[in-house]
Structure 1
Amino acid sequence: MSQGTYFDDFSVGEIYEHTRGRTVTNYDNYALTHLSMNTAEAHFNLVYSRQALDGRFSERIVAGPCTLGLVIGLTSQDMSENAFLDVGLTALRLPSPVFAGDTLHAKSEVLDLTDDRPDSGLLRYRFSATNQDGKTVAEGERTVRVKKRSAWANKDEAVMPGHDMGEQS
């Protein structure tokens, strides 16, 4: 786990430029499109997608839920490594299409911290993602319940001995 991912480590207004990028593959798109029984052929039929919308696209369009899943994954190491509950996703937008071969990068901003339980708190953050050309491809807000260091650090260390749990002196 990353250091500094307990509820206590976040501050409203902090911005995270997530270091990992992810190149989208056709498999990513196929897997989620078919697992979710999405029948929109522009996601899996190359001939159809080239003909759809007057030939505007030369490649299959990556399904929105696939894009969102990858982007949220890119934010997870910094934002939700110590989360144990997804509470909500809101204000979702997909302003530009994503295609296989696009490389996505994400950024997050802490919007709100709700200190409502002794063992955890609610973290709400805004995420956005851009492709290799700098076009915004996804935006939204995510709320997760995140562990507090005082309640979990020793337990986490017992589960993963020798692993730095990010305790601060």
Structure 2
Amino acid sequence: MTLRRVNDNEYIEEHGGDYEDFEPGMTIRHWPGRTITEADNTWLTLLTMNQHPLHFDRHYAEGAEFGRVLVNSGITLCLVGGMTVQALSARAVANLGWDKVRLKEPVYVGDTLYATSRVLEKRLSRSRHGHGIVTVETIGTKSTGETVIAFERSYMVRCRAAG
């Protein structure tokens, strides 16, 4: 959390940052983590119409390669990406894209995930004066230390001078 002074006795709690707050190479450990529940997996699987029985049919999953229900990989991406918003993009103007999404290990109900991001690059926007583009790499890990997902994300933020 960052506090910005408004006047002598008043502060505003800020989330995310302006273009100037990010520097290539900086690493941010996001907190808190999140333990995935069966309801999380079932709801998002059904909401997204992913009908693969590995995600919601325990009997089927027990006979498959992993021997138990797998968490829908869309949940892994959403949760780990969501963990980064407060520190990185809560003040973003827009998400511009996710690249190089790699699923490294399976995720199961009951796993607790954490995220760490590293700023890869930043540049001023060529199309929107007073804005910049920040690109980060985010790694999602289980509480056991296993990497489960890695991806790059680019988002647009305002430059401080632009207000």
Give TM-score scaled by structure 2 length: 0.86
What is the alpha-carbon distance in structure 1 between the residues aligned to residue 149 and residue 55 of structure 2?
17
Which amino acid in 2 is paired with 1:105? Answer: Y
Match of 1:22 among 23, 27, 34: 34
Q: Quote how far apart the aligned CAs of 1:6 are.
A: 1.3
**Structure 1 unaligned regions, length at least 5:** 153-169
SS in 2 for 1:141: strand
**Structure 2 unaligned regions, length at least 5:** 1-12
What is the alpha-carbon distance in structure 2 between the residues aligned to residue 69 and residue 57 of structure 1?
24
Which amino acid in 2 is paired with 1:37? Answer: M
**Aligned pair 1:114/2:126, yes or no?**
no
Structure 1 ranges of 4+ moved more than 3 A: 1-4
What is the alpha-carbon distance in structure 2 between the residues aligned to residue 2 and residue 102 of structure 1?
30
What is the alpha-carbon distance in structure 1 between the residues aligned to residue 109 and residue 96 of structure 2?
30
Match of 1:136 in 2: 147
Which amino acid in 1 is paired with 2:79? Answer: L
Match of 1:70 in 2: 79
SS in 1 for 2:23: coil
Percent of pairs identical after alignment? 36
Contact 2:16/2:85, CA 8 A, preserved across alignment: no
What is the alpha-carbon distance in structure 1 between the residues aligned to residue 124 and residue 37 of structure 2?
39
SS in 1 for 2:114: strand
Match of 2:67 in 1: 57
Equivalent residues in 2 for 1:138-157, closer than 5 Å = 138-152=149-163
Q: Deviation string for 1:61-84 (max 9, x for gaps)?
A: 111111000000111111111112
Contact 1:2/1:78, CA 8 A, preserved across alignment: no
Contact 2:36/2:109, CA 8 A, preserved across alignment: yes
SS in 2 for 1:83: coil
Higher helix proportion: 1
Q: Structure 1's 2 and 62: CA in aligned 2 closer, same or farther, altered over 3 A?
A: farther
**Aligned pair 1:7/2:16, yes or no?**
no
Which amino acid in 1 is paired with 2:31? Answer: T
SS in 2 for 1:52: coil
Q: CA RMSD in A?
A: 1.4
Give TM-score scaled by structure 1 length: 0.83
